[in-house]
Structure 1
Amino acid sequence: MVTMKEIAKRAGVSVSTVSLVLNNRDEGRVRGNVANQVRTIASQLGYQSNPLASSLRTGRTHMLGFISEDVATTPYAGGIILGAQTAARELGYMMIVVSTDGAQNEAEEIAALKRYGTDGFLYAKMSNRITDVPKALKDMPLVLVDATDEAGVVPSVEPDEFHIGYDATTRLIASGCERIAYVGAEDPIIAEQGRLDGYRAALAEAGRDFDEHLIVHVGNNEPALEAVNALFDSAQPDGFFCFNDARAWYVYECAARHGLKIGHDISVVGVDNHRVFADTLVPQLTTVELPHFEMGYWAASKLVSLIEESPLADMEWPSTTAPLPPLNAPVPAKIHCALIEKESVRS
């Protein structure tokens, strides 16, 4: 096995210098050309760090815990985990994913991860909500994903809900729609209020009056379909901004019942870029893509910056659909989501 002593001898530097470089503690301590030389030689010799020895020296295991009730079992949100794993790997960390099924199970899983010496935690929710931070996590480096704590002090990341509504409605206005409906959610969650606020702001900016008759809040299944059908009959919208892609399906169904062609007679924009809906509906649904990968990547990067007490200033962000906010963004950090043009909005 290649040792730091061998690398130091080959590079003509001290073992301590090699240690600083290979443990990523060389910034401001080792000249850049020397650090590059050490890394090159280490790579050529096939050097591999010893995680156990490193943890004994630094008190860190380079392990992150990912805790969630439902993200790990929700197929289209798997991007959160993929994004977090990608960032963790690039930063030299391993991530353990735990899916819980209630407060008791959650506490047990957190305790188990702590026993393994986990350096910090990502705590993820679905549908962007206010959440109570588990007591067992309050003394640990922690970042919330798609959630915010009541006090708004724990670092967190979420979609920019306001601009989801604003961008979708602005797109419908630009397509020539005169009567734009909003098919919202029943529950008064953060995402619902933010998207409705964005919808209203876009209308106001275009000189349009807000019309309550063009708003419907629906749940699922037949009652939702009936409510959207009644909206078609009573308000006769020519544009629809839907809280998510699943609710856009009701608009497609009702349009067919009324003999209207999507993308020609009426225009529709959803939210999620959910593969089951956005790619299989005909015509394909124009939608605002939720930044699952981006949220996971940003959250893991932020967590490592907290653990290492470093701004990670030299980190290169990956190319993503939505731009990532800086790690020092205000709480909560908001990601401006991308509108994905397809075929459901008339040109």
Structure 2
Amino acid sequence: MTTMKEIAEQTGVSISTVSLVLNGRDEGRVNPTLASLVRNKATELGYKINPLARSLRTNKTRILGFISEEVATTPYAGGIILGAQDAASAYGYMLFTVSTDGKASEENEIATLKRYGVDGFFYSKMSNRIAQVPKSLDDYPVVMVDATDHDNKIPSVEPDEFMIAYDATNRLIKAGCERIAYVGCSESMIAQDGRLAGYQAALHDAGRVFDPSLVCNVLNNGPALRAVSKLFDDTHPDGFFCFNDARAWYVYECAARRGLTVGKDISVVGVDNHRVFAETLEPQLTTVELPHYEMGYWSACKLISMIEGKDVDTSVWPDTRAPLPPLNAPIPAKIHCALLEKGSVVVH
């Protein structure tokens, strides 16, 4: 096992200088050229930091705790957790993940993570919403994922709901659709408010008049299918922006019952890039992909920067489908989602 002493001997510097560099405390203390030499030699020799020794020395465990409410049971959890884990690993941290189902469970899991000496916490919900971070986390760095606190004081990251709808509606406008419907969600939530506003703004910017009769807010199952069916018969849309891919299925079903072909007679854009619908619907659904991996990655970088009291090196960030916002973005940080072209929009 390579030691700091060996690196010091081969680079001609003191052990204390090697320690400063390899523990990330060299800024303003060690010449950058010399620090680069030390890092390169450590990589060449295969030097590995002993996390236990470092935690005893710095009183930091380099462990991050991920508290989620039902996130781990949703189809998107993998993306969020994978993003957070990749970022944590890139900066020398470990990730512990727990899922809760209520206040008592949440407090128990937080207490357990504290016993492991976690340095900071993620606090995540299963869909974008206003949430309150437990007071038991008041003394820790916290980043909210797919959630925002009431006062926008706690760093957080979420999809740019307004731009999701704006981009999707613009895609339908560019496809030549004249009567664009919005199949939304009848529950009150951040995503619904943002997407309805984005839909209206895109119409306005294109010189269109917003028609409330083209908005159909639904939940699911039979009532949703019947409401979308009525939308077809009453307003005859030729384009549909759907709150999510699941609601796009009702449009496909209603079109088939009327002998209409999606991608030829009508155009449809969804949101999620949900794997089940992406692999089932024919033609494949053009959709806006929610940035789960990106939210996880950004939130880990933000949390680590808070723990270390300095920005992480963003030059090593991966190429992601949706661009990552800067770490100093206003709260909440919003990620501009990618629209994925498939086969459900008419091509002229």
- Fold agreement, TM-score > 0.5: yes
Q: Which residue of 2 aligns with 1:110?
A: 110
Q: Which residue of 2 aligns with 1:292?
A: 292
Task: Say if 1:76 and 1:275, in contact at 8 Å, map to a contact too.
Answer: no
Q: Percent identity?
A: 69
Q: Distance in 1 between matches of 2:280 and 2:25?
A: 50
Matched residue type, 1:338: A
Secondary structure, aligned partner of 1:75 = coil
Q: Which residue of 1 aligns with 2:152?
A: 152
Q: Distance in 1 between matches of 2:141 and 2:289?
A: 29
Q: Which residue of 2 aligns with 1:54?
A: 54
Secondary structure, aligned partner of 2:319 = coil
Matched residue type, 1:325: P
Deviation per CA, 1:246-274: give whole Å up to 9, x if none. Answer: 00000000000111000111000000011
Residues 179/314 of structure 1: CA separation in 2 closer, same or farther (3 Å cut) = closer
1:44 matched to 2:44: yes
Matched residue type, 2:209: D
Paired residues, number: 347
What do you get for the CA RMSD once the two structures are aligned?
A: 1.1
Q: Which residue of 1 aligns with 2:184?
A: 184
Q: Distance in 1 between matches of 2:39 and 2:6?
A: 13
Q: Distance in 2 between matches of 1:75 and 1:302?
A: 24
Q: Distance in 2 between matches of 1:48 and 1:147?
A: 36
Residues 24/314 of structure 1: CA separation in 2 closer, same or farther (3 Å cut) = farther
Matched residue type, 1:138: D
Q: Which residue of 2 aligns with 1:255?
A: 255
Alignment gaps of 5+ in structure 1: none
Matches within 5 A, 1:139-178: 139-178=139-178
After TM superposition, the score normalised by the length of structure 2 is 0.98
Q: Which residue of 2 aligns with 1:28?
A: 28
Secondary structure, aligned partner of 2:121 = strand
Q: Distance in 1 between matches of 2:198 and 2:118?
A: 39
Task: Say if 2:182 and 2:243, in contact at 8 Å, map to a contact too.
Answer: yes
Matches within 5 A, 1:71-220: 71-220=71-220
Task: Say if 1:279 and 1:285, in contact at 8 Å, map to a contact too.
Answer: no
Alignment gaps of 5+ in structure 2: none
The Cα shift of 1:72 comes to: 1.4
Worse-superposed segment, 75-84 or 292-301: 75-84
Worse-superposed segment, 159-168 or 275-284: 275-284
Secondary structure, aligned partner of 2:280 = coil
Deviation per CA, 1:107-128: give whole Å up to 9, x if none. Answer: 0110111111100001111220
Matched residue type, 1:129: R
The Cα shift of 1:36 comes to: 2.1
Matched residue type, 1:171: R
Q: Distance in 1 between matches of 2:40 and 2:173?
A: 55
Q: Distance in 1 between matches of 2:254 and 2:248?
A: 10
Task: Say if 2:2 and 2:46, in contact at 8 Å, map to a contact too.
Answer: yes
Deviation per CA, 1:212-249: give whole Å up to 9, x if none. Answer: 11011100111110110010011110000000000000
Deviation per CA, 1:117-167: give whole Å up to 9, x if none. Answer: 100001111220000111111221000000000111100000000000100
The Cα shift of 1:44 comes to: 2.9
Matched residue type, 1:48: K
Worse-superposed segment, 248-257 or 70-79: 70-79
The Cα shift of 1:18 comes to: 0.4
Secondary structure, aligned partner of 1:144 = strand
Q: Distance in 2 between matches of 1:254 and 1:77?
A: 31
Q: Which residue of 1 aligns with 2:11?
A: 11
Q: Distance in 2 between matches of 1:40 and 1:323?
A: 30
Task: Say if 2:181 and 2:215, in contact at 8 Å, map to a contact too.
Answer: yes
Q: Distance in 2 between matches of 1:286 and 1:305?
A: 36
Matched residue type, 2:245: D
Matched residue type, 1:307: I
Deviation per CA, 1:183-213: give whole Å up to 9, x if none. Answer: 0011110000000000000001111111111
Q: Which residue of 2 aligns with 1:303?
A: 303
After superposing on structure 2, the runs of 4+ consecutive aligned residues of structure 1 that deviate more than 3 Å are none
Q: Which residue of 1 aligns with 2:275?
A: 275
Task: Say if 2:74 and 2:126, in contact at 8 Å, map to a contact too.
Answer: no
Q: Distance in 2 between matches of 1:53 and 1:4?
A: 13
